[in-house]
Each structure stands twice: as structure tokens, then as C-alpha cells.
Amino acid sequence: MEQPPHAPQQRKKEWTFLSNHSHVLICIHRNPTIRTREIATEVGITERATQAIIADLVAAGYLIRERTGRRNTYTVVAAVPFRHPIEANHAVGDLLAMLETPTKFSAVSDT
């Protein structure tokens, strides 16, 4: 059944390679003064979930939160290693640096 053109589009729930925690961290890295509401919209999660993720990231040492007037300013601590043993030999800054610079991948040949 087609939706009318004025109806909001429903996003099909699909998996991604990165978690919501990494998506929130990337948003904050790109804009250290971003508001929770803006992060939630960009990531596609609720504001409450965003707040919980930010609290996790602060508690784990990936973020420093500073109050500036009525807003928060965040600093990403890029030297903190990933938590899972598979990627623990890399710091979170490695991921952020990789995502800052677009790369061109060559097509894989079947021949």
C-alpha cells in the first residue's frame, strides 16, 4: 500500500556496521556543540537513548562534557582504545580520522 506524498516516510530498519554509540560519537566529533535533539534526529534514535549513550561515552572516558551557559560542549578523547578485544589495538581516533577523509575504493575484478 502506497503512502500519500505528504505522509512521513517510514525508515526500514536495517543493520549497519557501526553501532549507535559510534554514530553519536561521530556526530559529536563533527560538531562539538551539537544538541541532543540534533544527534537523535541524525542517528535515528530517541533523545532519551541519545542521552544514555552520551552518559555511557562520558563514563567510559571517550567524551568530556563541559557546560557552557545553557549548552554542553563535548571533547572527544581520541586516544582511548576500543572496548572489544578484536579492535582494542586501535584508538577511537583512528575510526574518526578514517571517517573524516573520504576514500576511493577500486572495484574488485572477477577476472
Interior/surface letters 42-77, b for 16+ CB within 10 angstroms, e for the rest: bbebeeebbeebbeebeeeebbeeeeeeeebebebe
What values do phi and psi take at 75, rounded to 5? -125, 125
User: What ranges do the domains of the chain cover?
Assistant: 20-100
Q: Please state, in angstroms and rounded to a whole number, the distance separating the CA atoms of residues 40 and 27.
A: 10
Q: Please state, in angstroms and rounded to a whole number, the distance separating the CA atoms of residues 10 and 19.
A: 20
What does the block give as the cell for 30?
A: 563533527
- Fold entry, domain 20-100: Arc Repressor Mutant, subunit A (1.10.10)
One digit per residue, the tens of pLDDT, for the chain of length 111 reads 555 556 555 666 788 899 999 999 999 999 999 999 999 999 999 999 999 999 999 999 999 999 989 999 999 999 999 999 999 999 999 999 999 877 776 555 554
